[in-house]
Structure 1
Amino acid sequence: MTSLLRLLTGKPRPAPRTVERETVTIALADGRQIEVLRVRDPRARRLKLSVDERGARLTLPLRASDRAGEQFVRQHGDWLAKQLAQTRSPHTALQPHAEGEIPLRGTMRPLRWTVGRYLRIAEDEDGAIAIVAPEAVAPATLRRALRDFYEAQARADVGRWLPKYLQGLPRAPARIRLRVMSSQWGSLSPDGALSLDLALVLAPPAAFEYVLVHELCHLIHADHSRAFWREVEARSPHWRDQREFFRAEGRPLKAALNALCGKTSSDPLWGRSGVSRDRTGRLSALSR
């Protein structure tokens, strides 16, 4: 029924279909079995295969068949396997009173456990991570405490760096939020709220500080024009080196935080790594 006829007869517009998600196992040409989150989205206009630290995701328009989606995955099987290998983290969720190391500010820090009544995580003077915990602490409670510890460390870093940049800005950020993001490193909302990825606290401080500078400069220029990059250059002369660091090591950082603290998601800033095919059948690469 056309929109005009629907308007004249007074019949309501059909409700839009919802997004459907299911995890499927697809066999590649060489026999490898890969789990893929298959998403059928009414808004999608093309086949799209993407990978982040949560795994592989295949997005299908409503009219695309499951078979077409599987063929698309097999066509890019080598690329997919390579991308998935980059998302695997050597880290595992923190286990109660288990010896080991965790990342912080670009280095691995040894764990130092003590039995105590209340759970507490702090950085020792020698750089070790001191954890006071009951003998029977739940792993989920431990993961939440570790995330809170990382957030406190990240806020301390931002607190040290922020004052030296505020003088040259038209205004200060409305607020600063630390979140676990999927592909973003930072963002600035129209109301001036600045969001930073919690995984930044695992990176070397110079890389973390660059992302802070990048987002602060959006208070001056909302785009990525030459004028914007001149502002970044004036505050972070080695920003290109830091950007290359994130391109090479960003995904393992996010995977490490995901393994240690659990899974969440957000919208991409640098872009999820992927390939897609539009309605004409043309292939295109998505930026990483």
Structure 2
Amino acid sequence: MPSLLHRLIARAPQRVQRDTLEFQLDDGRRIEVQRVRHPRARRLKLSVDERGARLTLPMRASLVAGERFLHEHRTWLSAQLERHQPADAAVAALVPGETTSLPLRGQSLPLHWHPGRYIRIARDEAGIHVQLPARASEAGLRRALRGFYEAEARADVGRWLPAYLPGLPRAPRQLRLKVMSSQWGSLAPDGSLALDLALVLARPSAFEYVLVHELCHLLQANHSPAFWREVELRFPAWREERAYFHRDGRSLKATLRGLLSD
């Protein structure tokens, strides 16, 4: 009886909780910070690695305390982000008539410029074609390029997704493509799937791995051994793709920022 009573009144084990918050640095840049509540954390901790910034909080720490901690260490955070910036992060912006290629699916495709009445970007066997009016704005061109990359990414997801739906409790509620500073994907509690738009620049197998990774969170909302068994079952080569992101991930993100930023 005492052991039964103990099991009944014992608190459920606390689990790691993850989400992201947007934070503005002193230079005006807005970054995503991964926020992690960890049951073993004893103090607030801020760290930066090749994946970006991470704020770790004890389970009882308030969100306000975490954001205050970020503000107090924003100078250190900016310096660390610069230190982890890849050497090739200064990617040239898209220049009409001058840029000769664009990255897509792990390749550099020839870029062809054409006059036209409105901005349109399309792809065929010869490469990527940009139809551009003489008075087109840089902002309009960047929006068109982002739309092109989003359409290509959605086409990839649409091609891969049906093969992985059997065995899942449900399909993702919706798909959002975002420019993420640190993460490659996330799955919200309501089933909404978010993927980094830079994935469409990566080799297709790496993009597919991230999709599988996030889909497996519909089965295991954690990174436990059980979660990795689900990933292994569906994508046995996941270790190679994770190593690819550790090696080339920062360059992919920097390339996309260079193409889409002012």
TM value normalised by structure 2: 0.72
Question: What is the aligned-residue identity percentage?
Answer: 53
Which residue is equivalent to 1:275? Answer: none
2:97 corresponds to 1:93: no
Deviations 1:192-232 (A, max 9, x none): 11111100000000000000000001111111111111110
Which residue is equivalent to 1:213? Answer: 212
CA contact (8 A) 1:102 1:108 kept: yes
Aligned length: 215
Aligned-partner Cα distance in 2 for 1:53–1:258: 15
CA contact (8 A) 1:52 1:87 kept: no
Aligned-partner Cα distance in 1 for 2:177–2:82: 31
Aligned-partner Cα distance in 1 for 2:71–2:112: 56
Which residue is equivalent to 1:118? Answer: 118
Larger Rg computed on CA atoms: 1
Which residue is equivalent to 2:108? Answer: 108
Q: 1:242-281 residue pairs with structure 2 within 5 A?
A: 242-262=241-261
What is the letter of the counterpart of residue 257 of structure 2? N
**Structure 1: where are the runs of 5+ without partners?**
1-18, 25-36, 38-44, 264-288
Aligned-partner Cα distance in 2 for 1:118–1:142: 10
What is the letter of the counterpart of residue 164 of structure 2? Y
CA change 1:52–1:118 in 2 (3 A) is farther
CA change 1:182–1:63 in 2 (3 A) is closer
* TM-aligned CA deviation for residue 97 of structure 1: 2.3
Aligned-partner Cα distance in 2 for 1:52–1:237: 24
- Secondary structure in 2 matching 1:243: helix
* TM-aligned CA deviation for residue 107 of structure 1: 0.6
Q: CA RMSD in A?
A: 3.3
Aligned-partner Cα distance in 1 for 2:207–2:213: 10
Which residue is equivalent to 1:281? Answer: none
- Secondary structure in 2 matching 1:157: helix
CA contact (8 A) 1:96 1:135 kept: no
2:238 corresponds to 1:239: yes
CA contact (8 A) 2:105 2:201 kept: yes
* TM-aligned CA deviation for residue 136 of structure 1: 2.2
- Secondary structure in 2 matching 1:91: coil
Which residue is equivalent to 1:144? Answer: 143
